[in-house]
Structure formats: C-alpha cells, structure tokens
C-alpha cells in the first residue's frame, strides 16, 4: 500500500511533468509564430522571345558596267591608234607613217578637193595658202572663203614662204616636190580622196584627226551621211532608172565618165544608171558620136561651164546622126555646174542632189538643196 507520502510524491511528480509539457508547448507555438512568412517565390513566366522581324534591306542593284563604246575613228584607214586623242599622234598615209607632234595651226594642201574638205573642218584662218584653182569660182566650191588666203603655186619655195606647219595633199602632187618639201623640214601627208559614201566619210574623219578637229569631223561626217541617206530614201529603190551619160568637150574631142569616175559616182547616187559604165568604159576616156549612139542614153549631162557647155549642147542637138538618141530626141540634155562634178569632195553629194532634181522632178519639185555647215 502506498502511503500518503508516496501519493504525495507521485502527485508532485505528475504536476511537475504537466507544467513542463505546458511550457514546452508554448515554446513550440511561439517559435512557429515568429518564423517569417515564406517570401513568395517569383514564378518565372516563360516570356516568348519576340520573333525577329525580317527587315527588308534595300540591296543596291548591281551597277551595270557600261559597255565600252568603239572610237568613232576605229576602222578609219590611216589612223594608227583611234583611241589616242592626244599629241603626238600617228597616221599612216600614202607616203608613209607620220607622227604629228602638235595640233597644226598653219595648213596648206595645194589640192582643191583637200581645200574644200579642210575649209569644212577648220577655221579659215588656219588655211595659210591655196592654189589658184581654189579661188576660181568656176571650179571651186570654196572660192569665196579662199579669197582671204595667200595664193601659192606647187613650187616648194612658194609653199614654204607661207610657213605651214603641215601640208596635206593628193596623190597627184609631184613626188619630187614632195621630197624637196620634206628635205626642208615640212611634213607632207599624201592622202587619197574617195567619191563613194564610205570613202568620203573616212576622208573627213582622217583629215579631222590630222588637224586635231575630231569633234567637228564627227559632226560633219554625220551631216554628210544624213544627207546621203535622205537622198537614197527617195531615189534608191526606184523600179526603173534612166540611163545617163556625162560628157564634156575640149578641143575637138568628147570625153565621158565611166567606171571609177567621179561623175559616174554622182550619176549613181542620183538614182541613174551610168551609161558609160554599163558600156564597160573606165575613168574619163575619149569617145565618138558613134559611141553615144551605141550607148543610147536617156539623159545627157554636160559637165563644163556654160560658156563652152551651151555651144557643145547645140552641137549635139544639131548632129543629125544623133537625132534618134533618146536624150536628144526628147530634149533631155543639160549643162550642169562643173564644180560639183570635177572636184572630189563632199560637194559631189550636192551634185547628186541637183542631178536627182533633173532625173526625178516629181519628187524634188519643191526641194531646195543648200550648202554645208561651217566650223
């Protein structure tokens, strides 16, 4: 049996344990209360990265590489380097290769065809001497402008007296005189002249290059080309063309113009058939009245001045043997301006234009052909 003392001890022990448990419970509660609240965890929202917008970058269009344009002087016979527009420059002409050191300021030619082309390319003041025929209004197309230049002969002394920088002349100039001028230190360039359109154009470009007048030569060559094309646009495709005979009388002889003649080229450019060329004659042979009958031209042109051309026309018209020649029978015989037929330059084109008015009056009734532009 437990005594009072034992019971008291047990009760005391129980009370003490209860107090201890009560104290422990308060501490646990207190501790839980004092813990800081858990900070809210920032939830990482996966933000979709913005889709890169494709910016249209303006890509520069590739620059077109310009196609090199050929030199206007390419293919011109005589021009050694068509891309060289500076000085010195070289040309190859009939008497050799020459180096032109500087732009010629003082020019002579002593050739009417060369004078006519030269005056079309350079200011008149650069022509320092001309032959007498270039001042003759009967045979020269530049007689008026040439009046201001000193007259010179073909003698080397008179040519050298005008102190030229250069001389450009024809193959007809005396070779011994050319040699004498070269020994004196003058450059003498012997160049050909041509009556066909391509040859005429090349001559203009070559002489312009020699003189240092390239732009003027290009423009003038185009002017001549355009006039030739305009003429051909009318006469070039005629279905039926008249037979034309060019004649001239000197002394007791009659001359005509056949193949390779200046007059023949003019006839063809005007839309005619050269009767002498058709008969296989070349250059400017002597013919007879019988030859005229056999060639049977429909048109006859007399390429000499009126003072001698008109009497020759009367002679032909009154010749009974020629009465049935179509040109004489139909009174189609004309005295034409000799300076357009006896030269060899761009003025031959004017001769073709004037002859076209004779051959095709219905096409050119109201057309007036003028001269050519000046530098």
* CATH code, domain with 201: 3.40.50.1980
Residue 38 lies in a domain: no
| pLDDT tens per residue, range 105-152 | 999 999 999 999 999 999 999 999 999 999 999 999 999 999 999 999
One domain, residues 133 and 165: yes
* pLDDT at 15 exceeding the cut of 50: no
Residue 49 lies in a domain: no
One domain, residues 269 and 223: no
The region that residue 339 occupies, defined by phi over 0 for left and psi between -120 and 50 for alpha, beta otherwise, is alpha
* pLDDT at 37 exceeding the cut of 60: no
Residue 117 lies in a domain: yes
68-77, 122-131, 140-149, 335-344, range with the lowest pLDDT: 68-77
| pLDDT tens per residue, range 241-275 | 999 999 999 999 999 999 999 999 999 999 999 99
* Domain of residue 289, residue span: 238-344
Mean pLDDT for 287-307 is: 98
Mean pLDDT for 344-372 is: 96
One domain, residues 252 and 190: no
One domain, residues 143 and 100: yes
- The 3-state DSSP class for residue 287 equals strand
pLDDT at position 55: 47
Residue 265 lies in a domain: yes
* pLDDT at 59 exceeding the cut of 70: no
* Cα Rg of the chain (Å, integer): 51
Residue 336 lies in a domain: yes
More confident residue, 8 or 127: 127
pLDDT at position 23: 38
pTM more than 0.85: no
Are 273 and 242 within 8 A, CB to CB?
Answer: yes
One domain, residues 181 and 316: no
pLDDT above 90: percentage of residues in the chain: 81
| pLDDT tens per residue, range 160-207 | 999 999 999 999 999 999 999 999 999 999 999 998 999 999 999 999
One domain, residues 253 and 170: no
Residue 48 lies in a domain: no
Residue 93 lies in a domain: yes
In which band, very low, low, confident or very high, does the pLDDT at 11 lie, cut at 50, 70 and 90?
very low
* pLDDT at 291 exceeding the cut of 70: yes
Nearest to 292 by CA among 240, 247, 242: 247
Residue 34 lies in a domain: no
pLDDT at position 69: 81
One domain, residues 137 and 263: no
One domain, residues 96 and 228: yes
Q: State how beta strands 273-274 and 166-169 pair.
A: unpaired
Q: Which of 232, 248, 278 is the last residue of a domain?
A: 232
One domain, residues 198 and 246: no
Are 243 and 295 within 8 A, CB to CB?
Answer: yes
- On average, the pLDDT of the chain sits at 88
**Distance (Å, rounded) from C-alpha 126 to C-alpha 233?**
37
Q: State how beta strands 273-274 and 253-256 pair.
A: unpaired
Per the structure, how many domains does the chain have? 2
Mean pLDDT for 283-302 is: 98
pLDDT at position 10: 36
**Distance (Å, rounded) from C-alpha 176 to C-alpha 69?**
43
One domain, residues 194 and 172: yes
One domain, residues 283 and 301: yes
More confident residue, 26 or 333: 333
Mean pLDDT for 41-65 is: 49
């Amino acid at each position: 049996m437990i005594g009072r003392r034992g019971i008291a001890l047990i009760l005391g022990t129980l009370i003490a344990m209860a107090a201890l448990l009560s104290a422990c419970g308060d501490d646990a509660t207190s501790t839980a209360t004092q813990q800081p609240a858990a900070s809210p965890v920032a939830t990482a929202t996966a933000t979709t990265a913005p889709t890169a917008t494709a910016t249209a970058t303006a890509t520069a269009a590739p620059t077109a590489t310009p196609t090199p344009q050929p030199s206007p002087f390419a293919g011109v016979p005589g021009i050694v380097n068509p891309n060289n527009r500076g000085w010195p420059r070289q040309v190859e002409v009939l008497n050799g290769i020459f180096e032109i050191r500087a732009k010629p300021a003082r020019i002579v030619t002593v050739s009417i065809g060369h004078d006519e082309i030269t005056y079309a390319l350079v200011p008149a003041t650069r022509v320092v001497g001309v032959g007498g025929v270039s001042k003759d209004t009967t045979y020269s197309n530049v007689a008026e402008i040439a009046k201001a230049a000193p007259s010179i002969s073909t003698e080397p002394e008179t040519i050298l007296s005008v102190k030229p920088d250069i001389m450009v002349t024809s193959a007809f100039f005396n070779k011994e005189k050319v040699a004498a001028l070269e020994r004196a230190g003058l450059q003498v360039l012997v160049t050909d002249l041509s009556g066909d359109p391509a040859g005429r154009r090349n001559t203009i470009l070559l002489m312009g290059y020699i003189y240092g007048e390239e732009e003027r030569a290009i423009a003038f060559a185009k002017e001549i080309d355009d006039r030739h094309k305009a003429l051909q646009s009318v006469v070039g495709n005629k279905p039926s063309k008249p037979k034309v005979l060019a004649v001239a009388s000197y002394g007791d002889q009659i001359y005509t113009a056949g193949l390779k003649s200046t007059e023949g080229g003019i006839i063809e450019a005007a839309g005619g058939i050269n009767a002498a060329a058709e008969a296989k004659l070349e250059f400017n042979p002597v013919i007879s009245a019988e030859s005229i009958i056999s060639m049977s031209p429909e048109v006859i042109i007399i390429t000499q001045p009126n003072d001698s051309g008109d009497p020759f026309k009367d002679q032909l018209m009154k010749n009974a043997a020629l009465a049935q020649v179509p040109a004489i029978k139909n009174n189609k015989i004309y005295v034409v301006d000799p300076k357009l037929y006896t030269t060899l330059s761009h003025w031959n084109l004017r001769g073709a234009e004037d002859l076209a008015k004779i051959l095709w009056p219905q096409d050119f009734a109201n057309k007036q052909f003028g001269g050519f532009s000046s530098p």
